[in-house]
């Protein structure tokens, strides 16, 4: 079937995307590669469609489907979406992704390469041609006329015209379409077929399969879940749909495996989504207010959320006592410090779900599970040897800044508060400036050592810039409010010199470990003072 015919079928609603398909995931390089293959008339693979009744089909998007039979695209979504986007200049009706991936594709008629629009390189250069404009119904003629009349192109006009025609003829390339038909082709069978033949090698995940079955009975499920994810994203937390589905699974089935959802009635799944939303809201506010972990970069162990959501829901949406709340937070902190869910997520999550089946001593059993896998839960100075913001202990450093109320050097405000205003937001600060350390010959891993990080307001961070710590720390240390000490910075001024940087790191790691253990001991014992901290805003 010709490419142009396939695009027309999409416009007519006769060719659509089944609900279980994931969104558009290709990048610009893949789009360019597809167009180059078609331009060179190289094989790009066949398409696979499922022929089924339109009245029972669950499709993506809000387009109209004509009565009778409909073709649902099982394999070839990325290719066909790219072709539609480039040729039509807009995404198809079932699109779910970033349209910038295929908007603005250009072709160099001399070098025969495809690139996306770059003003400096392409503006007023007649050799660069907008591919979408050529592929419009009346787009080729003006381009050919341009070649014939532009003196800069006249010497190779015949060559350029042939290449423009080759671009235009992509519309007539024949793509082979395989069809899956028959009354026995249920959603489960079709999903299995999809996984067997998916030419891109990216099979549907277990979460995709579970969502496909949910959407077969509740077509609005995906959109409903996306609305919750968008709400949390606005609050600073970016979660995948699969994580929310996992929360629904643990709440409705007390199990981690997505397959457990197959026997759950639609009404129960819908209630599970509402319960999950309330539980996640509660957990995010709790973690933000008690631990100060108030945005995505410092929110560790996101796969503890399904367990937390289950526990909160089984307790009526809240935690009964302050001590129980803090013991649960103690468990949560240790899950991201030691990577509790970094490996076999479902297996470990099932172990922890089993531990909380009964409310009696449930949190103690969770903590005992941690001890069995980790052993000693005490934090050592060596644990702060990581480097970069991706270090596992980075969220802990941020948490300590908030809960121990470290003070900003310049304003002397406690950094535990949600500071308002663009110049007051917390920023990562290198105690020893990077430029000074690189100048002294230190390696990147040393320069960006976790023990060289602290947090200040943006205004103070910009003020200090590349000033040496032996100068600016001395200035703040002479103030009476313990500003420097509040950041667990060693007060031996010899350690503030660049030549003693490694010794500074060793001593600060020791101080950070002590501060962490002191707080976690209080959290475990339920003796962290009750404070009225603002919660994150979840709209």
What does DSSP say about strands 113-116 and 47-53: parallel, antiparallel, or unpaired? unpaired
Residue 204 pLDDT greater than 60, yes or no = no
pLDDT computed for residue 369 by the predictor: 95
Residue 534 pLDDT greater than 80, yes or no = no
Is residue 72 left, alpha or beta, with left meaning phi > 0 and alpha meaning psi from -120 to 50?
A: beta
Residue 193 pLDDT greater than 70, yes or no = no
Cα–Cα distance for residue pair 383/379, rounded to 1 Å: 7
Q: Which residues pair with residue 130 across a beta bridge?
A: 106
Q: pLDDT tens digits for 51-82?
A: 887 765 567 665 566 777 888 888 888 999 99
Sequence-distant contacts of 462-468: CB under 8 A, at least 24 apart: 463/410, 464/409, 464/429, 464/433, 465/433, 466/433, 466/435, 466/436, 467/433, 468/433, 468/436, 468/496, 468/498
Q: How confident is the model at residue 307 (pLDDT cuts 50, 70, 90)?
A: very high
pLDDT computed for residue 425 by the predictor: 64
Mean pLDDT of the chain: 88
Residues 213 and 238 sit within 8 Å (Cβ to Cβ): no
Q: What is the pTM of this model?
A: 0.73
What does DSSP say about strands 69-75 and 47-53: parallel, antiparallel, or unpaired? antiparallel
Q: Which of 290-299, 411-420, 478-487 has the lowest mean pLDDT?
A: 411-420
pLDDT computed for residue 207 by the predictor: 77
Q: How confident is the model at residue 187 (pLDDT cuts 50, 70, 90)?
A: low
Residues 70 and 53 sit within 8 Å (Cβ to Cβ): yes
Residue 22 pLDDT greater than 90, yes or no = no
What mean pLDDT comes out for the span 289-294? 90
pLDDT computed for residue 62 by the predictor: 58
pLDDT computed for residue 220 by the predictor: 84
pLDDT computed for residue 72 by the predictor: 82
List the domain boundaries for the chain: 3-187, 205-374, 381-525
pLDDT computed for residue 191 by the predictor: 61
pLDDT computed for residue 198 by the predictor: 57
Cα–Cα distance for residue pair 312/40, rounded to 1 Å: 58
Q: What SS3 state is found at 262?
A: helix
Cα–Cα distance for residue pair 369/363, rounded to 1 Å: 10
What's the N-to-C CA distance of the chain in angstroms? 48
In this structure, what are the phi and psi dihedrals at residue 407, rounded to the nearest 5 degrees? -110, 145
Residue 276 pLDDT greater than 50, yes or no = yes
What mean pLDDT comes out for the span 171-192? 76
Better pLDDT: 362 or 220: 362
Q: pLDDT tens digits for 417-465?
A: 545 444 446 789 999 999 999 999 999 999 999 999 999 998 999 999 9
Residue 221 pLDDT greater than 60, yes or no = yes
Rounded (10°) CA dihedral 378, 383, 384, 389: -110
SS percent in the chain: helix, strand, coil, step 5: 55, 10, 35
Q: How many other CB atoms are found less than 10 A from the CB of residue 314?
A: 17
Q: pLDDT tens digits for 32-44?
A: 999 999 999 999 9
Q: Which of 95-99, 147-151, 352-356, 493-497 has the lowest mean pLDDT?
A: 95-99
pLDDT computed for residue 418 by the predictor: 46
In this structure, what are the phi and psi dihedrals at residue 54, rounded to the nearest 5 degrees? -65, -30
Residue 142 pLDDT greater than 80, yes or no = yes
């Amino acid at each position: 079937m010709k490419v142009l015919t396939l695009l027309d079928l999409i416009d007519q609603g006769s060719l659509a995307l089944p609900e279980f398909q994931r969104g558009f995931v290709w990048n610009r390089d893949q789009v360019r590669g597809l167009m180059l293959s078609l331009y060179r008339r190289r094989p790009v693979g066949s398409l696979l469609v499922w022929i089924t009744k339109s009245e029972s089909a669950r499709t993506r998007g809000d387009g109209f489907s004509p009565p009778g039979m409909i073709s649902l695209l099982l394999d070839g979504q990325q290719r066909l979406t790219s072709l539609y986007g480039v040729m039509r200049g807009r995404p198809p009706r079932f699109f779910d992704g970033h349209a910038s991936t295929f908007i603005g594709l250009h072709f160099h008629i001399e070098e025969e390469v495809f690139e996306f629009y770059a003003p400096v390189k392409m503006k007023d250069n007649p050799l660069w041609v907008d591919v979408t404009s050529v592929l419009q119904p009346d787009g080729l003629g003006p381009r050919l006329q341009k070649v014939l009349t532009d003196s800069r192109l006249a010497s190779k006009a015949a060559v350029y015209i042939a290449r423009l025609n080759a671009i235009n003829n992509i519309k007539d390339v024949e793509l082979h379409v395989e069809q899956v038909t028959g009354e026995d082709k249920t959603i489960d069978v079709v999903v299995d077929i999809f996984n067997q033949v998916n030419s891109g090698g990216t099979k549907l995940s277990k979460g995709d399969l579970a969502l496909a079955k949910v959407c077969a009975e509740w077509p609005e499920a995906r959109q409903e879940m996306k609305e919750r994810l968008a709400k949390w994203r606005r609050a600073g937390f970016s979660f995948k749909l699969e994580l929310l589905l996992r929360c629904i699974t643990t709440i409705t089935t007390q199990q981690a495996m997505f397959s457990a959802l197959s026997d759950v009635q639609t009404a129960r799944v819908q209630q599970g989504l509402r319960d999950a939303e309330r539980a996640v809201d509660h957990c995010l506010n709790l973690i933000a207010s008690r631990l100060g972990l108030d945005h995505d970069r410092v929110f560790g162990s996101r796969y503890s959320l399904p367990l937390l959501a289950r526990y909160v829901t089984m307790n009526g949406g809240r935690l009964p006592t302050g001590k129980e709340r803090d013991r649960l937070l103690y468990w949560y902190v240790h899950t991201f410090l030691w990577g509790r869910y970094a490996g076999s997520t479902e297996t470990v999550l099932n172990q922890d779900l089993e531990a909380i089946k009964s409310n009696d001593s449930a949190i103690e059993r969770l903590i005992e599970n941690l001890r069995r896998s980790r052993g000693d839960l005490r934090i050592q100075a060596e644990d702060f040897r990581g480097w970069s913001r991706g270090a596992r202990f980075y969220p802990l450093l941020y948490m300590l800044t908030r809960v121990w109320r470290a003070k900003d050097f310049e304003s002397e405000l406690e950094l535990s508060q949600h500071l308002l205003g663009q110049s007051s937001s917390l920023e990562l600060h290198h105690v020893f400036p990077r430029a000074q350390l690189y100048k002294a010959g230190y390696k990147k891993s040393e320069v960006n050592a976790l023990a060289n990080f602290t947090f200040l307001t943006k205004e103070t961070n910009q003020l200090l810039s590349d000033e040496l710590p032996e100068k600016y720390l001395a200035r703040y240390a002479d103030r009476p409010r313990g500003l420097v000490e509040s950041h667990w910075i060693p007060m031996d001024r010899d350690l503030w010199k660049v030549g003693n940087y490694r010794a500074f790191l060793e001593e600060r790691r020791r101080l950070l470990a002590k501060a962490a253990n002191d707080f976690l001991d209080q959290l475990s014992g339920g003796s962290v003072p009750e404070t009225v901290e603002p919660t994150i805003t979840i709209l």
